[in-house]
Structure 1
Amino acid sequence: MKTKRKSEFKTKLPKFIKKLNTFRFLNISLYALLGILLFLALFDSVKPEKLDAELFSVSDTTIYAPVTVEDKEATERRKQEAYDTVEDQYTLRRDYSDNRVDLASSIFDSITEVNREADEKQKEDQGPASGETQGGQVVISVDERYQNLSEKLTTDINEKLSKEVFIPLLNATPQELALARDAVVTTVNNVMGKEIPVEELSSAKEEVREELQYTPIRSEVLASSAEIGVFAVIPNYVFDPQGTDEKRQQAADSVQEVQIKQGQILVEENELISREVYRKLELVGLLNNTESYKPFTGLTMFVLLILSVVIFYFERRDRPSQKRNHALLIYALIFSLTIAMLKILSLFQQMDISYVGLIAPAAMGPMIIKLLLNERISIITSMIFAVCGSIIFNEGVTGTFNFTIGIYYLAGCLAGVLFLREHNMRTRILQTGLFIAMINIITIFALLLMRNGSYSNMEIGFYIGMAAVSGIVSSVLTIGILPFFETGFGILSTMRLIELSNPNHPLLRKILTETPGSYHHSVMVANLSDSACEAIGANGLLARVGAYYHDIGKTKRPRYFIENQMNIENPHNKLSPQLSRNIIFAHVSDGVDMLKKHKMPKEIIDIAEQHHGTSLLKFFYHKATEKSDQVFEEEFRYPGPKPQTKEIAIISIADSVEAAVRSLNNPTPEKIEKLVKGIISDKLQDGQLDECDLTLKELDIAAQTFCETLKGIFHSRIEYPELTKQKVKQA
């Protein structure tokens, strides 16, 4: 089932518009103009700002960063600072303890070995020796033993430990050496088991002396042993170069890159442009033109994306080119008007008027588009206006998006589109404006609460006021601008149809006063047509208004039509069938002339002209055949044309159904249903519905609707007792 499109209901177009619609490349030209307009409107909002700022000068304005970029120099500086702040790392070398314990033990082992070798040599040597003698034996001197010991020890030990340290140990007994060795090894192991930084080495050595002073050996042996123990203790908590480098590198790597955020203040008004500020200005591209092509390329891609959506909608194959151009021209004008209005309001933003975009009546465009075109394209346009508005009102920061305005416009536009109904009177449009205002206020409150900011009562009142004005002005502008489009483009809108349905219209008053029977018939046909058209998805309002005027031609000769013959003789009884035929046929042409004279919409004129199609005037045709055999059926057929639209076809059926049902003596539901189906069948067989796009299924739905409506009109009524008594008395 096809649905109606408001864009298809057009009155007689002005010559200029009609000629423009036939232009072959009109659609391409309009797409190009839309793209250029959109590009120019958004150009200032994405154009990189170029400053004539000098180093060490005073800025005359507050400068914001137009883009987000990484400040590599600042990032490296922070990484170096993090690297340098990490202190040297130290580690406890436990292997040092084992080594120094082994060293101390080796020294005592060497002393023991030297003493043992000296004793063995004395036993083997029977002759006089160079050493001293005692009791006839050769005694190896301490100096010789020290000489042998120094050969066994390393140079470092010989340098650090003097001869006086080893002499008491070389003269000590094996038991004393063993006791001294165990004491030194144990003490060194205990002390070296703790962390010994360089700065605490002296206290560690002192700790060795304190622990060894209680060893039960001679004092001179104890002193020498303590010196070996002190020598064995070294710092074991030492600098770790690898660990230090790892820690410093981790600290440097943990530093996040320094970014200059989009919208960040680079320099305040009346602030000095220092070398650092100047470097940042250059970094964000405010002092050069090297990358100025990027925003323009992005804007071009964005405009092409929007145009592709519009082109996809309008360039459908099921839409004739002339109707497409007509709808596209209307859309382009509304779109351009709304964008221009947003752009003009954005200029006040430079005057430091906070959130001036909130007062913009952005919902006006989608509302007019819905009224003149349809709901789908109006929803698409609402999304486009929301995105464009967020760029236009970007608070002076080029290339940014004002998401607050974007969400605000989207909510308001969609509210206007969805709240409007198909049959919209001016009061309904004003109600829609109030609804938009309410949605705007709710949206603003929601956004402010999500920001979790602090706002004064004056600020909140300011926001509420602008939101309310935006919604109300949108509806007022819609009502004010709509007639210009209806007149200029010959659009038969819902508003125009409602105006034509007013009983005070001159033609309706004429048919009511001069032909009351025809007026009643027209109202009945209007009710039938409206309900049937709504049931099949056609324009019920157009059918209703068209039915009001379809028999306006009968006002020229009212008494020649049976519904207007009240207590008078039928004048056709005295006329020939041919003359009666001409009078009946004339009501169609007379009606068309009267409607054209009053500059009625073409759709209404078409209904008056086509509602009889080429149907046969059966009564007078049969009357003529009774008088003569030389009668042709074509002579008694209406000139047509046949109904071209669903609405006219439904009115044609309703016209016949109403007249036929009115002629029934006792209309019952069964009789009505049989009559309706019979009339529809006759029109199908006669070919009267061949040129409209009504389907058999839609005809069946229309028939059911006719029956239901007629059953409600011709329902049975009870007879009141008082009226019954009066009738009995009168009898």
Structure 2
Amino acid sequence: MNNKQENRIALLKSFLKSDTLKRIVVNILGIIIILLMVLAAVTPIRYNLRVGMVPTHTISASKDVIDEISTEKNRKIAAESVAPTYKLQDGVTEKVLNKLELIKNELFAVIQYAKTLEDYSFDRRYTKEELDYAADMLSEITLRSFQLQSLMNTSEEDFNTLFSSLKDTIANTMQGSVSEGQENSAINSIVSIIGYSTEINVLQNVAMPVLREVIMPNMVIDIEATEFARQAARDAVDPVVYKQGQNIVVRGEGRIKENQIKMLDSLGLLDTDTTDYKTYVGATIIVLLSLLGLMLCLNSLDKNVFLNTKRLILIYLVLSIGLLFSILAKIIGYIYAAPLLFVSIILSASIGYKPALLASAVFSAIASFMLAIGGHNTAADACFMLISGISSGSISALMLKDNSRRTHVLMAGFVGSAISALTLIAAGLMVSNDTSLIFSNAAWSSMGGIISTLLSIGIQPMLETLFNLPTQSRLIDLCNPKQPLMNRLLTEAPGTYHHSLIIANLAEACAERVGANPYLARAGGYYHDIGKLKRPKYFKENQINQENILNENEPQVAAAIITAHIRDGLVYAKQHRLPVELQNIISEHHGNSLVMYFYSKAVLQEGKENVNEDDYRYDSVPPRSVEGAIVMLCDTIEAAVRSLKHPSMEEIVEFIIKLIQQKIDDGQLRNAPLTIDDLHGVAESCAKVLYGVFHERVEYPSRNKHSKLQEKLPSKKKEIDENGSSESNIQGDAE
């Protein structure tokens, strides 16, 4: 195996173990789960119906559907009502007169043949053989036996008179318009003209067949123009459309017709093989576009959430829970009671308002269209719920931006409910006159907001525990002195506890100044040194009136004991399931900085070339979060500022800036997303807090300066002399 193949395998193994693959899998599974839920929700109930049955259910159109049969019937009627378009055909009169002449000659020949027969007379009866022979003489016209009988009994004079009249009348008639399909009208007109001078028998048996044979229309139908006009008439007919939510069949009313069956079948509402794939395709596109947009926006606006697999899982879980309750609202028939605020409230309280705003908008889009399909719901309902969900969800998320405690969640939920109802009322009044329906929908929407709030308050603690989230409520609870680790720190390492209180106050002030999470910063200050519980007496702040024990050890051993409190702190944090963000602060609050005191001591003792600097560095990485960097700076600043003697505010600020610059030079801030302005804000905030903590105290007078007062109060002086001056002892301890 060559190096390229080995590199490819190594890259593949690295990818399979990477967080990128985990995020891809989470996104794929999340999209599939939500898509399946939506597709299941939009799948209609199927009915077993046939033409002629009495409807057993009232069935409404799940979306706009065309009544194809009724529409086609109306279009056919419209097309048939269009009169044909005619065009003049030249030379028709000449053709008619020429054919009349040819027929005249053949008929005259038949008369001449009759005269050649024995016993010829105008009332002679001819045999079948004679009539057949006469018929064979005709090629331009076909006459039946009785018609030939009349012809052969016609005199030449009557014959000539007939054809003379026919010629003149036909010529006059053809000068006008003989439309295609109106030939019989022209024939009847000619017959009525020549009928006055022609014997009835000859008129019917000779003239009529001749006219039928020769008369041709001179105005023929323009097929192309006529079809165009008829198609225009068809197109002008509006389709018969059943709007979304309109009843197609009503229970117990009449019998089901063919057009109703066809509409129900096209919507996939019948128990047949027909499926309305368009609905599923549309739902799939909405889900995919919405969730893809959510991920792209998260990647741009909140990378911390996008790159955190646990938070992605939480988002998909909350979306799925919200859709589940929305489906329940659809099943019971009150779609406006769907908890559209649920996603906004619970994500704001759990992972922040930015992902909550984005996820709430996506949830509103998916849920609104999902709820609007089927039953008596319409596209207008989808639009109303979308507007209501986005507006109320955005307000609730922004209200929880800085405070997501339970009472504030309740307030945000009620405000969101009111916004939702007002939005629906405003939109409804603009497009509808049905005020009762408008206010009914608004009331149900408000109820849905309240349900969302109660669900969020009930479910959030479970999600906090399940995902170990650093929510405001959780962080406030962790800062309670009665928490096990805090209680142990107070009793077993009181100096560290006091130090942690100061760091917590400093970190909270700095976080508020730079726009970070003050609750996480405060909790980080409380818990950053919990690893010192393993060996509390080895740390100076817990050594009261005694020498530093670490000075009795070799420098490398002492440095190892000091740096070990990071590992020990992580062990305690994991045992007590502290949030990962808090664990990161514990792990990173010293970065990979150098334990300078014992490193310098080792260099003095052994020489720099014999000392490995890495043995005296913390085994961690520089802080990667704003809150972690703040705790690290506050930890350094608090310890260093103690060494100043009666400093002014300006001196404290200047000193703190120098300390921060040292951290920058050592590379301890390279991972933290802090700007120069943020660092100046940290310096100023720390200076204000520390100036108040380490201010110059008023020097109390000693006992000998109270002699006059004591002389006036001998009994009190005696009591103090016997029991010891507790007041002085307390003051001494405080100083």
Verify same fold: TM over 0.5: yes
Deviation at 1:463, TM superposition (A): 6.1
1:228-627 aligned at under 5 Å gives the runs 257=238, 259-262=240-243, 263-273=245-255, 278-279=258-259, 281-282=261-262, 285=266, 292-313=276-297, 323=307, 325-349=309-333, 356-394=334-372, 396-397=375-376, 400=379, 402-403=381-382, 404-446=384-426, 449-450=429-430, 451-453=432-434, 455=436, 466-566=444-544, 568-572=545-549, 575=552, 578=555, 581=559, 584-620=562-598
* Gap change, CA 1:621 and 1:301, over 3 Å in 2: closer
Deviation at 1:54, TM superposition (A): 1.6
* Gap change, CA 1:343 and 1:672, over 3 Å in 2: same
Aligned 8 A contact 1:35 1:303 in 2: no
Q: In the alignment, residue 348 of structure 1 is paired with which amino acid?
A: I
* Gap change, CA 1:572 and 1:539, over 3 Å in 2: same
Query: Could you report, residue by residue, the CA deviation over 1:600-637 in whole angstroms, capped at 9, with x for unpaired residues?
Result: 33433343343233444444555666667687373883
* Gap change, CA 1:312 and 1:628, over 3 Å in 2: closer
Deviation at 1:582, TM superposition (A): 5.4
Partner of 2:71: 72
Query: Could you report, residue by residue, the CA deviation over 1:354-396 in whole angstroms, capped at 9, with x for unpaired residues?
Result: xx22332232223333344443443333233333333333360
* Gap change, CA 1:699 and 1:387, over 3 Å in 2: closer
Aligned 8 A contact 2:41 2:327 in 1: no
> 1-side partners of 2:33 and 2:706: how far apart?
87
Deviation at 1:64, TM superposition (A): 3.1
> 2-side partners of 1:417 and 1:452: how far apart?
33
Q: In the alignment, residue 418 of structure 1 is paired with which amino acid?
A: L
> 1-side partners of 2:76 and 2:241: how far apart?
15
Secondary structure of the residue that 1:402 maps to in structure 2?
A: helix
Deviation at 1:39, TM superposition (A): 5.2
Query: Could you report, residue by residue, the CA deviation over 1:169-211 in whole angstroms, capped at 9, with x for unpaired residues?
Result: xxxxxxxxxxxxxxxxxxxxxxxxxxxxxxxxxxxxxxxxxxx
Deviation at 1:467, TM superposition (A): 4.2
Deviation at 1:695, TM superposition (A): 4.9
> 2-side partners of 1:502 and 1:45: how far apart?
49
State which drifts further: 538-547 or 303-312.
303-312
The one of 611, 632, 642 equivalent to 1:662 is 642
Asked whether 1:59 is paired with 2:65, we answer: no
> 2-side partners of 1:19 and 1:337: how far apart?
30
Asked whether 1:634 is paired with 2:613, we answer: yes
Asked whether 1:45 is paired with 2:45, we answer: no
> 2-side partners of 1:588 and 1:266: how far apart?
72
Aligned 8 A contact 1:661 1:672 in 2: yes
Deviation at 1:505, TM superposition (A): 0.8
Partner of 2:663: 683
> 2-side partners of 1:361 and 1:644: how far apart?
39
Deviation at 1:68, TM superposition (A): 4.3
> 1-side partners of 2:28 and 2:558: how far apart?
57
> 1-side partners of 2:39 and 2:606: how far apart?
80
Deviation at 1:305, TM superposition (A): 2.7
* Number of residue pairs matched by the alignment: 532
Q: In the alignment, residue 576 of structure 2 is paired with which amino acid?
A: H
Deviation at 1:588, TM superposition (A): 3.9
> 2-side partners of 1:341 and 1:318: how far apart?
27
Deviation at 1:311, TM superposition (A): 4.7
> 1-side partners of 2:559 and 2:282: how far apart?
71
> 2-side partners of 1:519 and 1:592: how far apart?
17
> 1-side partners of 2:38 and 2:54: how far apart?
32
* Gap change, CA 1:76 and 1:500, over 3 Å in 2: same
Q: In the alignment, residue 54 of structure 1 is paired with which amino acid?
A: V
> 1-side partners of 2:553 and 2:401: how far apart?
52
* Gap change, CA 1:657 and 1:308, over 3 Å in 2: closer
Deviation at 1:705, TM superposition (A): 3.2
Deviation at 1:664, TM superposition (A): 1.9
Aligned 8 A contact 2:66 2:240 in 1: yes
TM-score with structure 1 length normalisation?
0.61
> 1-side partners of 2:288 and 2:592: how far apart?
51
Deviation at 1:548, TM superposition (A): 0.6
Aligned 8 A contact 1:382 1:410 in 2: yes
* Gap change, CA 1:399 and 1:484, over 3 Å in 2: same
> 2-side partners of 1:563 and 1:291: how far apart?
76
Instruction: Report the RMSD for the aligned CA atoms in angstroms.
Output: 4.6
> 2-side partners of 1:479 and 1:664: how far apart?
49
Query: Could you report, residue by residue, the CA deviation over 1:22-48 in whole angstroms, capped at 9, with x for unpaired residues?
Result: 594762574366246435524553759
Aligned 8 A contact 2:489 2:496 in 1: yes
Query: Could you report, residue by residue, the CA deviation over 1:263-311 in whole angstroms, capped at 9, with x for unpaired residues?
Result: 333443221137xx54355367468978944434433433333343245
Secondary structure of the residue that 2:307 maps to in structure 1?
A: helix
Deviation at 1:559, TM superposition (A): 4.9
Deviation at 1:339, TM superposition (A): 1.5
Q: In the alignment, residue 261 of structure 1 is paired with which amino acid?
A: Y
> 2-side partners of 1:440 and 1:398: how far apart?
18
Aligned 8 A contact 1:39 1:300 in 2: no
Secondary structure of the residue that 1:418 maps to in structure 2?
A: helix
State which drifts further: 510-519 or 442-451.
442-451
State which drifts further: 282-291 or 58-67.
282-291
Aligned 8 A contact 2:26 2:312 in 1: no
Q: In the alignment, residue 305 of structure 1 is paired with which amino acid?
A: L
* Gap change, CA 1:529 and 1:330, over 3 Å in 2: same
TM-score with structure 2 length normalisation?
0.61
Secondary structure of the residue that 2:436 maps to in structure 1?
A: coil
Percent identity over the alignment is 29
> 2-side partners of 1:552 and 1:40: how far apart?
46
Deviation at 1:659, TM superposition (A): 1.3
> 1-side partners of 2:21 and 2:411: how far apart?
41
Deviation at 1:667, TM superposition (A): 1.8
Partner of 1:111: none
Aligned 8 A contact 2:242 2:248 in 1: no
Aligned 8 A contact 1:486 1:492 in 2: yes
Secondary structure of the residue that 2:365 maps to in structure 1?
A: helix
> 1-side partners of 2:306 and 2:363: how far apart?
27
Aligned 8 A contact 1:21 1:322 in 2: no
Secondary structure of the residue that 2:330 maps to in structure 1?
A: helix
> 1-side partners of 2:469 and 2:442: how far apart?
36
Structure 1 residues without counterparts, runs of 5 or longer:
1-17, 85-248, 350-355
Q: 1 or 2 for the larger relative contact order (CA 8 Å, sep ≥6)?
A: 1
Aligned 8 A contact 2:60 2:247 in 1: yes
Deviation at 1:338, TM superposition (A): 1.7
